[in-house]
């Protein structure tokens, strides 16, 4: 049985739950491992690779997996358009395969977090199919339908308001069958559910209950801060500047409505009936301040502020300071450098010329980024492939699968998310151990040399850097739950901070430059010297640090007083 729920007060000294001390690993099921040779990753493929994640002496050592959607779906947004919230897409397997996967995770001490996409369903969901038939259908009010306010001078039907779709164009699509517009924050194939309708709320909360009954430990709530829209559907005020039509308005009425707070409490009261369960909300197009507002006990929020930061110690220092100020000591951050929507961070942080194959300096930066992600305050979320510093795939727009990438134009700028969704290279050889067939996306071009098997055999690899860091983290309370204080490092290329939990302390120094750096450490009153516990470069473990620390180029160093 899981432990009793912790007190509602994250921070050093309190009891902590797994979703605070642990590390979560995101799997994009389509791209992790294909068990039947159809080129598409599946649940049985994941189950077959769980030893990579936990349970063996040479596993990565993560505490939970988060599975991106595996529900039946016509795949207009690769599973983020759900046609049946309680089923499993036959492409990915069956409910029995899901149960085996959960069992395999639990046996290895890993929790299972699933992705719930409750803002919108697929237009092929039976609820929407019923809803569009008529205004008097029992499901008529399950989506957001409105009449057209009339025609423009050119004869075009006017939309109910000026809201835009995040995936380009108007957020309203005319439906001939029903003779009304329906609203979609994303693609026309992803109509928004009407959370103001009590029957919808009940049905969706039932989905939550059902998956809890099936043994999952948590939920990643897709774009949870857009569930509610303004009750009167008022147009957003216009705004000057920004790239693309989305940014030409202030999104006051199409997200972050006050009704969300009540729903979050209700959701929590359901999740809290089972000890040890959690939720993490994906903040849609939100700022740090929104994240702080929407965090609740046992509810994490992704704020993504780390994702926009360039490779610069000064920029990360500013971002960490801003996050510390907003999260304070009471709120628990979720830390993300990469996910299935963003360019991979090994590519974002890479030096010029790194390219698809990568470079030694690019890998050295990826190691420093790993130290940052796994030692700063909050729960780290890893994205499959980052443990081998996988780079972006390069896919020409004409061959893009990602639907918004295919819609991109001058008014709607978009990046191709396929680049971050490449098949996982497990070993050299045809199919790279991902599939015996033809992978749905091309294998990374460097798969023959950059793969799990090869990096496992190299003590100095990015993979072994992640393994060692995860082991250090799980043995160091300060790194898991400690407070965080930035230290002034006297070198603009070095980011430094101290983590403290009771008597336990850790010092982290990250040299972002390709030159050595020498740091004068501020005195902190302790008589014990800092000793190196981990370094991304050659440094003897236990090496004592003086008042002046010499860092190698691109060295990520963790020191403790143990």
Catalytic residues: 222, 282
Name the strand (E) or helix (H) holding 314: helix 313-327
Select the binding partner of residue 97 from ligand GLC, Ca ion, none (C-beta < 5 to 8 A, by kind). Answer: none
Which is closer to ligand GLC, CB of 80 or CB of 327?
Answer: 80
Which is closer to ligand GLC, CB of 400 or CB of 509?
Answer: 400
Span interacting with Ca ion, options 42-50, 133-141, 218-226, 353-361, rule CB under 5 A: 42-50
Question: By rule CB under 6 A, what string of x and - marks binding of each residue 334-363 to ligand GLC?
Answer: ------xx----------------------
Please enumerate in sequence order all residues whose Cβ is within 8 A of that of 155, keeping only pairs 6 or more positions apart, or say none.
none
**Per CB under 6 A, 222 contacts ligand GLC:** yes
Please enumerate in sequence order all residues whose Cβ is within 8 A of that of 156, keeping only pairs 6 or more positions apart, or say none.
none
Binding residues for ligand GLC, total number by CB under 6 A: 9
Select the binding partner of residue 145 from Ca ion, ligand GLC, none (C-beta < 5 to 8 A, by kind). Answer: none
**Per CB under 5 A, 418 contacts Ca ion:** no
**Per CB under 5 A, 38 contacts Ca ion:** yes
Question: Would you say 10 and 480 are in contact if contact means Cβ atoms under 8 Å apart?
Answer: no
Nearest Cα neighbor of 32 from 463, 384, 373 is 384
Please enumerate in sequence order all residues whose Cβ is within 8 A of that of 556, keeping only pairs 6 or more positions apart, or say none.
367, 368, 370, 371, 372, 508, 509, 510, 511, 534, 535, 536
Which is closer to Ca ion, CB of 92 or CB of 224?
Answer: 92
Question: Would you say 257 and 225 are in contact if contact means Cβ atoms under 8 Å apart?
Answer: no
Residue 239 burial (C-beta neighbours within 10 Å; 0-12, 13-18, 19+): exposed
As measured in angstroms, the least distance from the Cβ of 222 to ligand GLC is 5
Question: Would you say 372 and 341 are in contact if contact means Cβ atoms under 8 Å apart?
Answer: no
Which is closer to ligand GLC, CB of 302 or CB of 497?
Answer: 302
Give residues 23-82 in contact with ligand GLC (rule: CB under 6 A): 77, 80
Report how far residue 465's alpha carbon sits from residue 478's, in angstroms, rounded to the nearest whole number.
19
As measured in angstroms, the least distance from the Cβ of 85 to ligand GLC is 13
Which is closer to ligand GLC, CB of 267 or CB of 501?
Answer: 267
**Per CB under 5 A, 97 contacts Ca ion:** no
**Per CB under 6 A, 186 contacts ligand GLC:** yes
Name the strand (E) or helix (H) holding 507: strand 504-511
Q: ∠ at Cα 201 (198, 202), nearest 5°?
A: 85
**Per CB under 5 A, 141 contacts Ca ion:** no
**Per CB under 6 A, 139 contacts ligand GLC:** no
Report how far residue 375's alpha carbon sits from residue 466's, in angstroms, rounded to the nearest whole number.
11
Which is closer to ligand GLC, CB of 24 or CB of 364?
Answer: 24
Chain position whose Cβ is nearest to ligand GLC: 80
- How many other C-beta atoms can be found within 10 angstroms of the C-beta atom of residue 231? 10
The contact set with ligand GLC (CB under 6 A) reads 77, 80, 117, 186, 222-223, 282, 340-341
């Amino acid at each position: 049985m899981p432990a009793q729920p912790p007190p509602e007060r994250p921070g050093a000294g309190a009891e902590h739950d797994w979703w605070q001390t642990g590390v979560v690993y995101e799997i994009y099921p389509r791209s992790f491992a294909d068990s039947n040779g159809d080129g598409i990753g599946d649940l049985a493929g994941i189950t077959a690779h769980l030893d990579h994640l936990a349970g063996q002496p040479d596993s990565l050592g993560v505490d939970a997996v988060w599975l991106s959607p595996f529900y039946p779906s016509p795949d207009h947004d690769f599973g983020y358009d759900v046609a049946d919230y309680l089923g499993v897409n036959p492409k990915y397997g069956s409910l029995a395969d899901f149960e085996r996967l959960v069992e395999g995770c639990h046996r290895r001490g890993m929790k299972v977090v699933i992705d719930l996409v409750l803002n919108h369903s697929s237009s092929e969901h039976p609820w929407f199919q019923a809803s569009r038939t008529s205004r008097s259908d029992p499901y008529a009010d399950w989506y957001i339908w409105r009449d057209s306010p009339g025609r423009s001078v050119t004869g075009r039907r006017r939309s109910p308001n000026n809201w835009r779709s995040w995936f380009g164009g108007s957020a309203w699509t005319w439906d001939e069958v029903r003779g009304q517009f329906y609203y979609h924050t994303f693609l026309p194939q992803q109509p928004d559910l009407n959370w103001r309708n009590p029957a919808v709320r009940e049905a969706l909360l039932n989905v939550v209950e059902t998956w809890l009954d099936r043994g999952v430990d948590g939920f990643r709530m897709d774009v949870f801060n857009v569930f509610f829209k303004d009750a009167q559907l008022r147009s957003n005020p216009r705004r000057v500047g920004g790239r693309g039509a989305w940014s030409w308005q202030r999104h006051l009425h199409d997200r972050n409505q006050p009704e969300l707070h009540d729903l979050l409490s209700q959701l929590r009261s359901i999740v809290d009936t089972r000890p040890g369960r959690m939720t993490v909300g994906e903040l849609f197009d939100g700022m740090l301040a929104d994240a702080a507002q929407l965090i609740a006990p046992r509810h994490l929020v992704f704020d993504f502020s780390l994702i926009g930061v360039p490779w610069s110690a000064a920029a990360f220092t500013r971002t960490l300071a801003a996050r510390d100020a907003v999260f304070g000591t009471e709120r628990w951050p979720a830390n993300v450098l990469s996910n299935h929507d963003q360019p991979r961070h090994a590519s974002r942080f890479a030096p010029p010329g790194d390219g698809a194959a990568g470079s030694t300096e690019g890998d050295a930066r990826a190691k420093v980024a790993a130290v940052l992600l796994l030692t700063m305050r909050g729960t780290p979320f890893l994205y499959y492939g980052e443990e081998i510093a996988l780079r972006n795939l390069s896919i020409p727009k004409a061959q893009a699968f990602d639907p918004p990438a295919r819609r991109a134009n001058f008014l709607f700028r978009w990046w191709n998310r396929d680049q971050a969704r490449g098949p996982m290279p497990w070993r050299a050889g045809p199919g790279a151990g991902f599939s015996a067939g033809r992978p749905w996306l091309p294998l990374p071009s460097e798969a023959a040399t950059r793969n799990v098997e090869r990096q496992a055999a190299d003590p100095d690899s990015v993979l072994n850097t992640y393994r060692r860091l995860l082991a250090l983290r799980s043995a160091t309370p300060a790194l898991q739950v400690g407070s965080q204080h930035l230290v002034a490092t006297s070198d603009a290329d070095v980011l430094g901070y101290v983590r403290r939990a009771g008597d336990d302390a850790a010092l982290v120094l990250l040299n972002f430059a390709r030159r050595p750096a020498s740091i004068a450490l501020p005195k902190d009153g302790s008589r014990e010297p800092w000793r190196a516990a981990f370094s991304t470069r050659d440094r003897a473990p236990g090496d004592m640090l003086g008042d002046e620390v010499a860092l190698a180029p691109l060295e990520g160093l963790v020191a403790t007083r143990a």
